[in-house]
Amino acid sequence: MSSETGKILTTDGIPLEESLKQSEKKNKIKAFLLVAPLLLFLIITYMIPIGDMFSRSIDDKMVTNMLPKTYKAMENWDGKELPPEEVFEAFYLDYKILVKNKTAGKLQTQLNYEKNGFKSVLKKLARKQKKFEEGNYKEQIMKVHKRWRNVEYWRAIKRRAPSYTYSKYLKGIDMYSNEDGKIVQVSEDRRIHRILWIRTVEVAFFVTLFCFLMAYPIAHLLATLPMKYSNLLMICVLLPFWTSLLVRTASWMILLQQQGIVNDFFVWIGLVADDNRPEMMYNKTGTYVAMTQILLPFMVLPLYSVMKTISPSLMRAGKSLGATPATAFFKVYFPLTIPGIGAGCLLVFILAIGYYITPALVGGASGTLISNQIAYHMKSTLDWSFASAMGLMLLTGVLVIYWIYNKLVGVDNIKLG
């Protein structure tokens, strides 16, 4: 009974607690409804497609769907010896339909990935199968080509039975699963992707480092100068920031070309001979120089906004207590700027690791990065599942960096000017 009397009622006769809960709920719904349009829009047009990339990257239904009877018949086959007659029959029937629908070419290509030389064997079967008689398909198929007696080829078909595969991911790190199902590395001269991954991380790392080394002094200068000078100098940072990426890349292409101004300058000061001008574009140098300049504002702005909040009296206090300027700087000032350094480095590194335009234009063959490879497979080879796999590997990398950063510095400490 005591609980009954203890309740405070509103004028409507509803307990106050309930009424408050209701209005809280209403407010929650109201707030959520405001966010809902954008959230739904992003989930449908962005989050789900990224998930779709994943299903594309592991999808391997093509072969499975082309040979339904064969895989059903193969279920009981252990793969040690040649398959029984029923598998041959099922394969003959599946293949007959494919040839009739003119889709046998796809199967030939796919199985050739699995076992070299499969294409010619299948092509021959496509020609000969028209004259097949009913019954005893095992003999008839083996008569077409002697390789049908080799159990390796049947194993190759069986390997493609699952509808899902992680082979694209293995390909992304230059590995593949061989005939015995073991994961091995591709031969040395074909390991292109690993080089690209290493180069991407290397370029992103050094660009971040260069940006940091260049941004720190100017951010400090901007934060300590009187307002009227610093505003003017800030334009030097903000104008490139607002200028089109392609315009800035174009200006580097002009500067770095062999007859360009940088080379002219080197010749003029006598660093290089006029007839021996170094190639500074279409290689890694070009990528480094252009990317550093383009990403520099992204380092300066967070650093500046953090340094702006550090009171100059702190350094003075340190010095008056007997610290040399260097000690005062490293013990007092530098630790206070760490949130800015973290934000700037994270921003520049993440931007650099996914950079595409600048490396493609000034990078040449030795300066292209993993994004260029993704774009190449999207636009040229049309191997979209491989492009998806590589994209997701890159995304995982970015998320891991983000996670580590969050553990070390905390994302809430990011300041963007």
Output the smallest distance, CB 252 to another protein, in A.
Answer: 6
Question: What is the sign of the dihedral through the CA atoms of 171, 174, 177 and 183?
Answer: negative
Output the smallest distance, CB 45 to another protein, in A.
Answer: 5
Regarding 367 and contact with another protein (CB under 8 A), the answer is no
Output the smallest distance, CB 301 to another protein, in A.
Answer: 12
- Window of 69-77, 179-187, 258-266, 329-337 that interacts with another protein by CB under 8 A: 258-266
Residues paired with 235 in a beta bridge? none
Per-residue x/- marks for another protein, 289-328, CB under 8 A?
Answer: ----x--xx---------------------------x---
DSSP state of 269: T
Residues 18-57 that bind another protein (CB under 8 A): 24, 27-28, 30-39, 41-50, 52-53, 56
Output the smallest distance, CB 303 to another protein, in A.
Answer: 12
Residues 198-237 that bind another protein (CB under 8 A): 214-215, 217-218, 221, 224-225, 233, 235-237
CA–CA dist 194, 171 (Å, integer) = 10
Residues 375-394 that bind another protein (CB under 8 A): 375, 378-379, 384, 387-388, 391-392, 394
What proportions of the chain, in percent to the nearest 5, are helix, strand and coil? 75, 0, 25
Residues 327-366 that bind another protein (CB under 8 A): 350-351, 353-354, 356-357, 360-361
Regarding 260 and contact with another protein (CB under 8 A), the answer is yes
CB of 144 closer than 8 Å to CB of 125: yes
Residues 83-112 that bind another protein (CB under 8 A): none
What is residue 400's three-state secondary structure? helix
Q: Out of 1, 8, 227, 247, which residue is the one contacting another protein (CB under 8 A)?
A: 247
Where b means 16+ CB within 10 Å and e means fewer, 186-220 reads beeeeeebeebbebbbebbebbbebbbeebbebbb
CA–CA dist 52, 193 (Å, integer) = 23
Cα separations in angstroms, 129 against 72, 101, 115, 236: 21, 14, 21, 74
Output the smallest distance, CB 107 to another protein, in A.
Answer: 25
Output the smallest distance, CB 311 to another protein, in A.
Answer: 17
CB of 161 closer than 8 Å to CB of 71: yes
